[in-house]
Amino acid sequence: MLKTFTILCCFIITASTYSQTDEAILKKLYQTSLTNGKSYDWLNHLSNQIGSRLSGSLGAERAVAYTKEELEKLGLDKVWLQPVMVPKWVRGATEYAYIETTPGKTNTVNICALGGSVATPSLGIKAHIIEVKTFEELASLGQENIAGKIVFYNRPMQADLIYTHEAYGGAVNQRYNGAVEASKYGAIGVIVRSMNLRLDDLPHTGSMTYDNLPIEKRIPAAAISTNDAEVLSTMLQLDKNIKLYFKQNCKQLADVQSYNVIGEITGSQFPNEYMVVGGHLDSWDLGDGSHDDGAGVVQSMDVLRLFKEAGIKPKHSIRVVLFMNEENGLRGGKKYAEEAKQKNENHLFALESDSGGFTPRGFSFDCNDANFNQVLSWQPLFKPYLIHYFEKGKSGADIDPLKTDKIVLAGLRPDSQRYFDYHHASNDTFDAINKRELELGAATMASLVYLFDKYGFK
């Protein structure tokens, strides 16, 4: 008897977490996205008509105007721009580098300046090279082996990690902190193996820091393609007296005015309680930022449009926020959270898509157990769409500043196997986007937003 009672209870708890209406609504959201989605068209325009959108660039400015205009066409309750000052770093003329085996005998290699790096002197720099895999190795070599040389960081991303962002996390300190560390020992430049799991000829840029280093200690930093990193390493094993030459012309200019782009469907029951869905509008300058993060931008825009198309009138206010300057400053994300706090806006939920426009697998959640368990109870609803990944973890860089004890932060988790083939490189372009995968992502995001809006927060 007791056993029956327990089973009955469990049944009731499970059954009450969603209804047949929800199954129908999710079906409608996926159907609409796949047959009448707008995300692909929007991304086509962003990528092919506007192109790269580095903070402070003309492309970024045009992307602000374009997305605002497109959101205005959707019949939302409000669309506005939130001003934010952003850093402006420019690459200048294309970088050039070669390995010199003996005077006059050279092999060119593919490099690109890291975002935020200083230029080399106008004639470039040429020096002996010290290859290291870790900062510990660098420290053990010390000043006597490093001063006057170029430090070459060559620790590959770990290939046997299935979630490739973890491999990125394990290697990216070379790119981000490499210059600061090498400068301590008198290095005159750094070259970093690209954050890329495959071997190819494309250098991948990305942000780096000088921390509080005085200007005279700031040394130029560049990424080298994985193929050329292998070549350089092999040549160094044969002859440690070879030299590397590189020249780059990048520059940090004064901050400029830019904007986050925001659209809102005002909630029917709780207009002062906010749910955010977003991605970042800026991109690196080498490709056109189709995956990083044009995909997240258009998917987020489409969440609000899919709500409209499906006739869903949300109870909470749903905002799409297109954040500016995630890549080299996070100013947009910080600004949005700062203003939300100033205005005492009650944010209950934020979802970011910033892992590429690949086949969605699920979400990563940064929230309390009660909300997470609620999500787990919705799992069967996602099964028909092959969405199975529901784990606790990080959400997204732009929404992280909104973090409080009660907010639910989530990140869309697409399949990550191909992401680093494109990430921050010149091949992150529209042709690398699969229309259906992009649309499935938008519908998956809309479904989660719909469920939280309907069932509320714990």
Between CA 289 and CA 432 the distance in angstroms is 10
- Give the interface segment with Zn ion, choosing from 119-127, 288-296, 375-383, 445-453 (CB under 5 A): 288-296
Smaller CB separation from Zn ion, 37 or 396: 396
Q: Which of 248, 299, 257 is nearest to 56 (CA)?
A: 257
Question: Edge-to-edge strand order for the sheet containing 251-265?
Answer: 78-90, 251-265, 316-323, 270-280, 346-352, 408-414, 360-366, 389-392
Tell me the two tokens of residue 313.
């009138």
- Give the interface segment with Zn ion, choosing from 97-105, 155-163, 188-196, 293-301 (CB under 5 A): 293-301
- Min dist CB 295 to Zn ion, Å, is 9
- Min dist CB 14 to Zn ion, Å, is 37
Coil, strand or helix at 150:
strand
Q: Rule CB under 5 A: say whether 400 interacts with Zn ion.
A: no
Orientation of helix 58-72 relative to helix 295-309, angle to 10°: 10
Dihedral of the CA atoms 428, 430, 431, 435 (nearest 10)? 120
| Contact track, Zn ion, 200-239, x by CB under 5 A | ----------------------------------------
Radius of gyration (Cα) for the chain, nearest Å? 24
CB 290, CB 43: distance < 8 Å: yes
- Contact partners, residue 60, CB within 8 Å, separation at least 6: 53, 54, 86, 258, 281, 282, 324
HEC-encoded secondary structure of 87-122: EEEECCCCCEEEEEEECCEEEEECEEECECCCCCCC
Smaller CB separation from Zn ion, 288 or 292: 292
CB 221, CB 153: distance < 8 Å: no
Does residue 216 carry a catalytic annotation?
no
Smaller CB separation from Zn ion, 154 or 258: 258
| Contact track, Zn ion, 307-346, x by CB under 5 A | ----------------------------------------
Within 63-122, the residues that bind Zn ion by CB under 5 A are none
Q: Which of 286, 270, 245, 252 is nearest to 349 (CA)?
A: 270
Smaller CB separation from Zn ion, 131 or 292: 292
Smaller CB separation from Zn ion, 282 or 439: 282
Smaller CB separation from Zn ion, 293 or 421: 293
- Give the interface segment with Zn ion, choosing from 70-78, 159-167, 292-300, 337-345 (CB under 5 A): 292-300
Between CA 367 and CA 347 the distance in angstroms is 13
Which of 293, 302, 366, 398: binder of Zn ion (CB under 5 A)?
Answer: 293
CB 47, CB 63: distance < 8 Å: no
Which of 70, 282, 285, 292: binder of Zn ion (CB under 5 A)?
Answer: 292
- Min dist CB 177 to Zn ion, Å, is 19
Between CA 158 and CA 388 the distance in angstroms is 25
- Min dist CB 303 to Zn ion, Å, is 18
- Give the interface segment with Zn ion, choosing from 44-52, 290-298, 332-340, 401-409 (CB under 5 A): 290-298
- Min dist CB 291 to Zn ion, Å, is 8
Compute how many residues bind Zn ion; rule: CB under 5 A.
Answer: 3
- Min dist CB 289 to Zn ion, Å, is 8
Catalytic residue among 95, 264, 326, 352: 326
HEC-encoded secondary structure of 198-230: CCCCCCCCCECCCCCCCHHHCCCEEEECHHHHH
Residue 455, number of CB atoms within 10 A of its CB = 17
- Min dist CB 323 to Zn ion, Å, is 10
- Min dist CB 354 to Zn ion, Å, is 4
Smaller CB separation from Zn ion, 292 or 439: 292
In b/e form, how buried is each residue of 290-324, taking b as 16+ CB within 10 angstroms? bbbbbbbbbbbbbbbbbbebbebebbbbbbbbbbb
Smaller CB separation from Zn ion, 168 or 185: 168
| Contact track, Zn ion, 349-378, x by CB under 5 A | -----x------------------------
CB 393, CB 366: distance < 8 Å: yes
Which residues of this protein are in contact with Zn ion, per CB under 5 A? 292-293, 354
Active site residues: 326
